[in-house]
Structure 1
Amino acid sequence: MSANDTGCARLLPVQHLRPGDHAFVSYGDDEVRWEVVTAFVRLGLSRAERVLVLPCPGVPEDEVLARIDFPSRSTVSARERGQLVVSSMHEVIRPDTEFTAARQMGRLYAETDRATAEGYTGLRAFIDMGWVRALGADLGVMACRETGAQALFTGRPYTEVCAYDRRRFDRPLLTAMERAHPCALLERLGSLRSLRAPDGTLHFIGEADAANRTAFSRALEIALAQTAPARWLTVDLTRLHFLSVGCAVGLLTLARCAAGHDLVEVRCDRGQRRLLRRLGAATLPRLALTEVVRAW
């Protein structure tokens, strides 16, 4: 992705979603699509939120539950007590039969209040947008809903992921819908993205683990080469869900060898800062660690 990509600041791993977030994700494979929804559901349950899943119409509820539960039956008790609900857009807009944004948002607003009244910390919903064609909904109405749903999220304990099958929607619509959402999610768990912001900052998003160590180091090497004239590089790790010891050592090694730079600033969370310091970050005079506290 180019350095001028305006969506750089919006890309997140699903694990970083928090109440008030409205996120876009797309998929193009029937197996891949279950990765984000499974993580989203399990995180919500662990945070004592009520979780609502609206799968693509035509996918049986038994299959949805089997995918979410694999390899164990860990959500059975959550379903029995009503914390996890698998439903449909038909149910959300009932008794109406035709979709309207007002009806859908009103119901989700009420369900959020109901969840908190029953002792949950909030409500999160995973909505597969396959319902749009299944209900014959107008794409313009759907687009207006996506761009005008702030009342559901602002200052409220509601989180939503809207999932778009790239085989069902054309590219211009997908691009418009991605831009309409405040957040966009990595499609696959365990993946790593590196993006250069307009100000030159190198952002890492996702998982900097052993499988991605080569890509992690290569992105750093390229960024150091490109910022040599400025003699300054800022690296942002705050959107990593995981930073391995191997990748952390690689970062410190490259910073130590960056003789052409006066400063390599690393923005990190508390855990990442602790790891880097234990590995010797304090001994590198050109390396500065800036701890960033994420608002939840």
Structure 2
Amino acid sequence: MAPTTAVDRLQPGDHACLTFSDPDERLDILAAFVAAGRERGDRVICFTSAVNVDDLRTDLLLRGLDAGPEVSVLPSDRLWGDNVAPAAATMVELLTRELRQALSDGYRGLRITADMCWAARPQANAEQLLVFESEVARLFEDGRFTAICEYDRESFDPVTLGYASRVHPRTVAATVYHEDPLLRICRQHVPPGVRVAGELDHTRANALSDALAEAVRLDQDVHLNLNQLRFIDAGAAAVILRTAANLPDQRRMVVVCAEAVETALIAAGAADIPALRMLVRHGER
């Protein structure tokens, strides 16, 4: 199995596989990959299938990544041009042309994200996925082409996911602070901070405290994404409020959450913490 690498440690010329089940985690990794490409001076293309083009552009914009001339979001079927169904040779040829054009336009290289859900469609020939992943490898040889291939675990069988892991030199994943059947706490890259999903109570408060402590150390402002949090108790809420209250002057914590979580944080005393700002789904507080 390919070694797991944090997205912010990928190097030019890397060919990485992302297998995901959490759409938020996928989007965060994709956004960090795009941001790194822009900073480096690469041309960036995001080929999307499971998420439509407009929604992905909006999601990137919400993370501060406006799709300027150096960033394109395209439907996956653009990869196979005028063909009715995906063809590996056509896809590799198109990417070769895009790389040449990017270099001709003065970019340092080309980086792409490819939503591989096209391979799970009825009209797709499964063999084309195997050929594509094999043939595209030659584009990475001079370090000017970088890519993440995205595999949704709900769309592919275990055999295909295992193959994807084997043919990619690297796999990319979020840094995980805690994971069990009820709770997942991991690093968020864009905006930088911590993402929590599931159910959070006082018995797991230490894991949350450790994750927030690293965010305080690494980030100017702490972004805490609780969008996928279904439950929080008073003990866990107190950890969040204590971290926000102890931030140095001019720093703040931004919490993104659903209304039920906002209600729990307010009951715990969130209104008394000047450094705490809450952005609530379907509204802002």
TM range (shorter): 0.5 to 0.7
Q: 1:135 to 1:14 in 2, by over 3 A?
A: farther
Report SS of the residue matched to 1:62: helix
TM-score (normalizing by structure 2): 0.60
1:65 aligned to which of 34, 44, 57: 57
Structure 1 residues 140-289: aligned runs within 5 Å: 140-186=127-173, 188=174, 190-191=175-176
2:91 aligned to which of 88, 98, 104: 104
Letter in 2 for 1:141: Q
TM-score (normalizing by structure 1): 0.58
Alignment gaps of 5+ in structure 2: 179-186, 195-205, 208-213, 219-285
Q: Judging by fraction of residues, say which structure has more strand.
A: 2
Deviation of the 1:178 alpha carbon: 0.6
CA contact (8 A) 2:116 2:149 kept: yes
Instruction: Report whether the alignment pairs 1:75 with 2:60.
Output: no
Deviation of the 1:99 alpha carbon: 1.7
2:20 aligned to which of 13, 16, 27: 27
Q: Deviations over 1:95-123 (max 9, x none)?
A: 22222211110110110010011011111
CA contact (8 A) 2:53 2:75 kept: no
Q: 1:121 to 1:29 in 2, by over 3 A?
A: same
Q: Deviations over 1:220-271 (max 9, x none)?
A: xxxxxxxxxxxxxxxxxxxxxx99979xxxxxxxxxxxxxxxxxxxxxxxxx
Q: 1:99 to 1:34 in 2, by over 3 A?
A: same
Question: Which 4+ residue blocks in structure 1 deviate beyond 4 angstroms?
Answer: 242-246
Distance in 2 separating the partners of 1:152 and 1:164? 20
Match of 1:50 in 2: 43
Instruction: Report whether the alignment pairs 1:138 with 2:125.
Output: yes
Match of 1:38 in 2: 31
Alignment gaps of 5+ in structure 1: 1-5, 194-205, 216-241, 247-296
Letter in 2 for 1:19: P
CA contact (8 A) 2:140 2:146 kept: yes
Q: CA RMSD in A?
A: 3.1
Match of 2:75 in 1: 88
Distance in 1 separating the partners of 2:14 and 2:177? 21
Higher relative contact order (CA 8 A, sep 6+): 1
Distance in 2 separating the partners of 1:144 and 1:113? 22
Report SS of the residue matched to 2:24: coil
CA contact (8 A) 1:109 1:152 kept: yes
Structure 1 residues 2-13: aligned runs within 5 Å: 7=2, 10-13=3-6
Question: How many equivalent residue pairs?
Answer: 194
Deviation of the 1:45 alpha carbon: 1.0
Match of 2:9 in 1: 16
CA contact (8 A) 1:24 1:185 kept: yes
Report SS of the residue matched to 1:121: coil
CA contact (8 A) 2:48 2:75 kept: yes
Deviation of the 1:142 alpha carbon: 0.5
Q: 1:66 to 1:113 in 2, by over 3 A?
A: same
CA contact (8 A) 1:22 1:153 kept: yes
Report SS of the residue matched to 2:156: coil
Distance in 1 separating the partners of 2:24 and 2:216? 27
Letter in 1 for 2:92: M
Distance in 2 separating the partners of 1:52 and 1:22? 15
Distance in 1 separating the partners of 2:9 and 2:122? 32
Deviation of the 1:183 alpha carbon: 0.7
Deviation of the 1:135 alpha carbon: 6.7
Deviation of the 1:126 alpha carbon: 0.3
Q: Deviations over 1:258-289 (max 9, x none)?
A: xxxxxxxxxxxxxxxxxxxxxxxxxxxxxxxx
Report SS of the residue matched to 1:175: helix
Distance in 1 separating the partners of 2:144 and 2:24? 30
